Amino acid sequence: MSGAAGGGGAPRAVLLDALGTLVALEPPAPRLRAELARRGYAVSAAAAEAAVRAEIAYYLEHHLEGRDERSLADLRDRCAAIVRRSVDVPGLDGATARAALLASLSFRAQPDAAPALRELRAGGLRLVVASNWDCSLPEVLAEAGLAALVDGAVSSGAVGAAKPAPRVFEAALAFAGVGPGEAVHVGDSVTNDVAGARAAGVRPILLLRQGEELRPAGTPSPSAAAASARSGGAVAAGDPGAPVIRTLAELPSLVLERG
């Protein structure tokens, strides 16, 4: 690995954040409004936005409780109850609110994700997604068409701790079969990804996409905001303390040895 990427030898594995890095969430409020309308319940755009904000706040606080299929189902029921109370539409039942909420959550791959993952894999690197997410993370990667391009995924819900805590990184390292000094971690949050990786002994790389700048701590990045901030990430102002890339297309040349 080049000195510009933090020194040390070439890595054997790359750990990657999910939301904002590999995947994006289509704006859910318009989709929620459309899904409710399709089921016969009319809500305003403002009401849909308010419901999504309330659901996100609850999800971020409780996402670690989605550790397996049964607990995830319970978490989704509770998130749907938040939506139901927020929109306050007569006759809207829990099952319908749940179905509309889940249908409103549509993830797609970032345009630069698949090409970068293919090049990294061709270079012999192990690729593991390490993200603040419930246990459905592998399904989301499959939905986005990325599951076959990585070796596996480790979610905070499955591990029982959220980044920047080291446990997510440690679990991802164990999955990859490498030590901390043999991996890099790529993500879009200075707090969760850069500081978290460094605390786990992993070299961080910050993804700061075109049009994004470092902002005051606690301010969600545009990618996180556009994705309803379900990852809870934030980009801090000042020196990020890690190499910065503007697109995942820059990642292979940064981490692969070139003969």
Predicted confidence at residue 240, as pLDDT, reads 75
Query: Which CATH class, in words, describes the domain spanning 3-25+108-255?
Result: alpha beta
Q: Which amino acid is at 13?
A: A
Tens-digit pLDDT profile for residues 94-137:
999 999 999 999 999 999 999 999 999 999 999 999 999 999 99
9 or 85: which carries more pLDDT confidence?
A: 85
Query: How far from 152 is each of 86, 155, 213, CA to CA, in Å?
Result: 36, 10, 30
Confidence tier at 212 by pLDDT (50, 70, 90): low
Tens-digit pLDDT profile for residues 181-193:
999 999 999 999 9
Predicted confidence at residue 257, as pLDDT, reads 73
| Whether 185 contacts 202, CB under 8 Å | yes
Contact residues for 238 (Cβ-Cβ < 8 A; gap 6+)? 214
C-alpha–C-alpha distance, residues 161 and 170, integer Å: 11
3-class DSSP state for residue 247? coil
C-alpha–C-alpha distance, residues 1 and 7, integer Å: 6
Predicted confidence at residue 214, as pLDDT, reads 62
